[in-house]
Amino acid sequence: MKIPPDLLVDRFGRPVNKLRVSITLRCNHACIFCHREGIPASQVKAELGAGDFGFVAEVASSLGIVDFKLTGGEPLVRDDVVDIVSAISQYVRDVSLVTNASRLRKFAQGLAEAGLSRVNVSLHSLREDVFRRITGGGSLSDVLEGIKAAIDAGLKVKLNYLMLSLNADEFKDIIDYASRVGTDLNVIELIPIGTPPNIYKELHVEISPVEEYLRKQAVKVWLAEFQNRPTYLMPSGIKVYVIKGFGNPYLCARCTRLRMTPDGKLQTCIYRPDLLVDARDAILRRDTEGLKDAFKRATELREPYFKLPGKTSLTPIMSRHA
CA distance 223 to 322: 6
Residue type, position 57, single letter: A
Q: What is the pTM of this model?
A: 0.93
CB 73 within 8 A of CB 22: yes
Q: What is the pLDDT along the chain (322 residues), one digit of tens a residue?
A: 444 556 899 999 999 999 999 999 999 999 999 999 999 877 899 999 999 999 999 999 999 999 999 999 999 999 999 999 999 999 999 999 999 999 999 999 999 999 999 999 999 999 999 999 999 999 999 999 999 999 999 999 999 999 999 999 999 999 999 999 999 999 999 999 988 999 999 999 999 999 999 999 999 999 999 999 999 999 999 999 999 999 999 999 999 999 999 999 999 999 999 999 999 999 999 999 999 999 999 999 999 999 988 654 444 443 333 3
| CATH topology assigned to domain 8-158+250-319 | TIM Barrel (3.20.20)
CA distance 153 to 146: 10
In the chain, what are the domain boundaries? 8-158+250-319
The neighbouring-strand residues paired with 20 are 69, 259
DSSP assignment letter at 84: H
Task: Please give the backbone phi and psi of residue 214, each rounded to the nearest 5 degrees, phi first.
Answer: -65, -40
CA distance 99 to 102: 8
